């Protein structure tokens, strides 16, 4: 049975989808973008946006009974592959221990014209 996960500590869904879904011991997040959930603002710069994405993802996973340490797979969507190194610096700060498996793709456009979006699959703690 699947269960919708929702928290006001991460940006609300902007369409007909759940922030995350729990199935058994697994958590599947939707794409997380760098919107500050309190102010609705989007930070400037790719590293600041990456930090906001991972703050939002941390809050979402915590609401689901999981954590960044329990992420097994991510998909990173970036607007410009030239930002790959800068995003990696921030990414590494938020994934202690064994890094999750990951795919990274450059895309033409993202919601709200942000510079990156990340989705994750995690195990419940």
Question: So what's the pLDDT on residue 97?
Answer: 84
Burial letters 67-100, b for 16+ CB under 10 A, else e: bbebbeebbbbbbeeebeebbeebbeebbeeeeb
Q: Could you read off the pLDDT of 30-54 as tens digits, one per residue?
A: 999 999 999 999 999 999 999 999 9
Question: So what's the pLDDT on residue 74?
Answer: 98
Given 104, 119, 123, 124, which residue is catalytic?
Answer: 104
* ∠ CA 89-29-40, rounded to 5°: 75
Q: Where are the domains of the chain?
A: 2-123
Give the architecture-level CATH label for domain 2-123.
2-Layer Sandwich (3.30)
The pTM of the full predicted model, rounded to 2 decimals, is 0.96
Judge whether 104 counts as a catalytic residue: yes
- DSSP assignments along 62-123, one per residue: HHTT--GGGEEEEEEEES-GGGHHHHHHHHHHH--SSPPEEEEEE-S--GGG-SEEEEEEEE
Q: Could you read off the pLDDT of 76-93 as tens digits, one per residue?
A: 999 999 999 999 999 999
Residue 30 three-state SS? coil
């Amino acid at each position: 049975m699947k269960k919708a996960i929702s928290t006001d500590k991460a940006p609300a869904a902007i369409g007909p989808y759940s922030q995350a879904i729990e199935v058994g011991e697994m958590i599947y997040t939707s794409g997380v973008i760098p919107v500050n959930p309190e102010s609705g603002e989007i930070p400037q710069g790719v590293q600041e946006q990456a930090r906001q994405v991972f703050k939002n993802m941390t809050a979402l996973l915590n609401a689901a009974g999981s954590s960044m340490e329990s992420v097994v797979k991510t998909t990173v969507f970036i607007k410009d592959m030239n930002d790959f190194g800068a995003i990696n610096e921030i990414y590494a700060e938020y994934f202690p221990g064994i890094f999750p498996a990951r795919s990274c793709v450059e895309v033409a456009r993202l919601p709200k014209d942000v510079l990156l979006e990340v989705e994750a699959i995690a195990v419940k703690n």
